[in-house]
Amino acid sequence: MPLIVSLAIFSTPVKALEVLTSFKPIQMITLELTKGVTEPDVLMESSASPHDYALRPSDAMKIQNADIIIWFGHDLETFMSRLVDGDKRVITISDFDGIELREFEDGHSHDGHDHDSTDPHFWLGMNTTRDIAKVLSQELSQRDPANKQRYQENYLAFEQLIDDEKRAITQKLSSVKSHGYFVFHDAYGYFEDEFELNNLGHFTVSPERKPGAKTLISIRKTLAKGEAKCVFSEPQFTPAVINSVTRGSNVEIGTLDPVASKIEAQQGSYIEFMNQLADSFVSCLAKEG
């Protein structure tokens, strides 16, 4: 009896890994891979955008306490760079081998910095997300080998979910994919390429950069010709410029939410997010005007 008691005292349960993700879309993807192992936390509040986020003292504490930190990299979450550079706990998605990341067509630098022309908005593409989730599950397995089988099983289930849902979304968008539209900022290329949508252009490369006069004149001319069905804004920003440019035209104004600000991060939320995005395109582009 004393032996049993002493064993009970000294055998403490294994502590779950503290996994920290940079912002909600990456948290949603990681949630699918860590099911049954741990619940990943998130750094940014859900209504924020990684383009203009400022770290708080509580965020620095989260970074300090995490066992694993997952972010895209310098091209997106520049606010994290100083705290995570060279840290062995960090998984940097932009460093993954064998992932085909999209290049911006006009070769612009992103966020006003002299980075290369890689488009960091990978989570808006279902194929890219599936490929990145595979490498991420392998990275998690290496750092937490005791749960390797679970990470692998979770990835395979997520892969199947993505493939099934992609077929359904393709069908959903089929009736509007020829309809022209403008987006507020150049974020949706992965989604647009996969589903063959007809993006006529964007107001700005990155949300914190004001659109140039030439861009606005060009968009006004296109709207005047009736070539665009819809102009999309974003809930993270209130661009008065969209109201100004569309005034007097028959174009519809819709909203695209690239960071899933209104969706709760839980099992299945990434698929819910992709469906929400598809529905936003359909509800604006299908309107009779």
More confident: 45 or 105: 45
Note the pLDDT of residue 46: 73
14-18, 153-157, 188-192, 233-237: least confident range: 14-18
Alpha-carbon gap, residue 268 to 35, rounded angstroms:
11
Q: 25 lies in which domain range?
A: 19-169
pLDDT in tens, 273-286: 999 999 999 999 99
Note the pLDDT of residue 238: 63
Residue 49 shares a structural domain with residue 152: yes
Residue 39 shares a structural domain with residue 159: yes
Note the pLDDT of residue 289: 56
pLDDT in tens, 12-69: 445 789 999 999 999 999 999 999 999 999 998 777 778 778 888 999 999 999 999 9
Q: Provide, rounded to the nearest whole percent, the portion of the chain with pLDDT above 90.
A: 65
More confident: 5 or 50: 50
Note the pLDDT of residue 93: 97
* SS3 readout for 44-73: CCCCCCCCCCCCCHHHHHHHHHCCEEEECC
For 66-94, the DSSP string reads: -SEEEE--TTT-GGGHHHHTT-TTEEEGG
Residue 204 shares a structural domain with residue 157: no
Asked if residue 265 lies in contact with residue 24, where contact means CB atoms within 8 angstroms, the answer is yes
Residue 153 shares a structural domain with residue 175: no
Mean pLDDT on 176-189: 94
pLDDT in tens, 123-141: 999 999 999 999 999 999 9
Element (H, E) at 162: helix 148-173
Residue 187 shares a structural domain with residue 63: no
Residue 159 shares a structural domain with residue 247: no
Alpha-carbon gap, residue 49 to 189, rounded angstroms:
17
How many distinct structural domains can be found in the chain?
2
Note the pLDDT of residue 240: 81
Residue 157 shares a structural domain with residue 47: yes
10 pLDDT more than 60: no
pLDDT in tens, 58-89: 999 999 999 999 999 998 998 898 889 899 99
Note the pLDDT of residue 14: 56
Residue 25 shares a structural domain with residue 151: yes
Is 241 among the domain residues? Answer: yes
More confident: 5 or 189: 189
Identity of residue 91: I
Alpha-carbon gap, residue 249 to 12, rounded angstroms:
67
pLDDT in tens, 198-227: 999 998 877 777 888 898 999 999 998 888
Asked if residue 67 lies in contact with residue 17, where contact means CB atoms within 8 angstroms, the answer is yes
Quick one: tokens of 211? 């659109």
Residue 34 shares a structural domain with residue 85: yes
User: Pairing state of beta strands 198-204 and 19-21?
Assistant: unpaired
184 pLDDT more than 60: yes
Note the pLDDT of residue 106: 55
Note the pLDDT of residue 49: 76
Is 4 among the domain residues? Answer: no
Which residues lie below 8 Å from residue 151, measured CB to CB, with a gap of 6+? 33, 34, 37, 137, 138, 140, 141, 144
Domain boundary among 123, 148, 169: 169
Domain boundary among 169, 195, 221: 169
Q: SS3 for 185?
A: strand
* pLDDT averaged over every residue in the chain: 88
Asked if residue 128 lies in contact with residue 103, where contact means CB atoms within 8 angstroms, the answer is no
Query: Residue written as tokens 């860590």?
Result: 34
Residue 31 shares a structural domain with residue 131: yes
Domain boundary among 169, 192, 225: 169
Residue 114 shares a structural domain with residue 48: yes
